[in-house]
Amino acid sequence: MTEIRFYRSTGEHGFLSNLYPIVIIVKIDDQDVGFQSVEHAYQYRKTSNKQIAEYIRAAPYPRLAAVIGHGLFPYDVVPNWNAMKLNWMKTCLEAKFKHREMAEALLKTGVNPLIEASKSDAFWGIGKKENGKNMLGLLLMQLRERLQKEGVEKPELPQ
């Protein structure tokens, strides 16, 4: 097995990055809401301030949505964010990999370990000392395993 390390949204495995630009549709309060990337959707949900959320949603690049989300004051963050962020990320990733080309690309990674090679994030990535939790990589591997079992014959593509 060969580790697949990803971080930027470019290159052979750039599609694994949350910064990869692809429209996703997620349900929020029983409404379908469109986003330009997983990063947009993830950061949108992080704030309890609707104006800031819409500002994040409108960010012209995923990296700017990330900058805004990382720069939130504590009082602008949803009070139970740490308890809900993992499930929200799963929802966002599931929406991304409903795109047939995304699902097929993920399946092509086989059984290789997926490593989010962020030096600055020891939760979603491996962190500076490379001993982080790699939660993004783990979620992607779980999703890949599910897709391997279920297949990708009829993905639910966004309109």
The 10s digit of each residue's pLDDT in 66-111 is 999 999 999 999 999 999 999 999 999 999 999 999 999 999 999 9
We report the CATH number of the domain holding residue 99 as 1.10.357.40
pLDDT tens by residue, 36-59:
999 999 999 999 999 999 999 999
In a domain, 139, yes or no: yes
pLDDT of 157 > 50? The answer is no
| Structural domain contains residue 71 | yes
Which residues fall within 8 angstroms of residue 138, CB to CB, at 6 or more apart?
none
Give the residue carrying structure tokens 């379908």: 32
Q: What is the pLDDT of residue 151?
A: 78
128 is written with which tokens? 């500076």
pTM above 0.85, yes or no: yes
39 close to 149: Cβ distance less than 8 angstroms: no
Q: Is the pLDDT of residue 155 over 50?
A: no
b/e 72-92 (16+ beta carbons within 10 angstroms → b): beeeebbeeeeeebeebbebb
Name the band, by pLDDT with cuts 50, 70 and 90, for residue 1.
confident
Number of domains in the chain: 1
Quote the domain boundaries for residue 100.
4-150
The residues pairing with 6 across neighbouring beta strands, listed in sequence order, are 116
8 domain residue, yes or no: yes
Q: Within a domain: residue 156?
A: no
User: 57 is written with which tokens?
Assistant: 């949603």
